[in-house]
Structure 1
Amino acid sequence: MVGGALQQKGIEINNISSQVDLPFTLLDLVNGNNTDFNFSKNIFNNSNQQYIHYIFNNGFGTFSKNGLFVYDFTSDKTILESGKEASQLDSLGKAISQEAYQDFLDRK
């Protein structure tokens, strides 16, 4: 993941990932059990359907190669919306946020 790969020139890596993807990826590389990482993916996944999702105080953002959607729960308004996939990212982001919140409640 680092070292020799940094020495190569002219390579473009355009995968989208987040810090929550690192444990899943490492466990995947060593054939470990990564089933507890529901909100992660393998960093080396080359799917065109890649996205990242983040939750901040009273809101969320969902980002893909083709769009961005950021929503504020307090004002119940969209903060930022751009790209051709923005409306799909709205629905995806709300679903992930709801599932993450339920996961949090279930672990208490």
Structure 2
Amino acid sequence: MRYLDAIDIDQWLELAPQVEIWLAEKLGKPTNGIFTVEEYWKRWSDNKTVKILPEIIAGESRKQEAEKVKQFLNKKAQELIFLGLLYFFKLFFIIYHLHIEILDDCRQM
């Protein structure tokens, strides 16, 4: 067993900013406008006016675009171009599929 004190944890978090942001979110601490994929989706989709479901934007009708994102994330494509979508839809679409890729990778471990 290894004992970690607050200084060890602080130094480790400085070397792993993604973990630092995740931990800050879990502890309810400010993240200065930087969010994990999960928190970004939660804030964007679960607003007071309308609840946005992933299937609305990333459903069956978007299979071709989803494949483009997958190829880009797997470095099989050099660029990622979307036409006709609003900026926040493009951003969400990429974040949604990045989240799906991360979940798939975790399931394979």
Q: TM-score, normalised by structure 1?
A: 0.36
Higher helix share: 2
Q: Which structure ranks higher in relative contact order (CA pairs < 8 Å, sequence separation ≥ 6)?
A: 2
Task: Name the larger-Rg structure.
Answer: 2
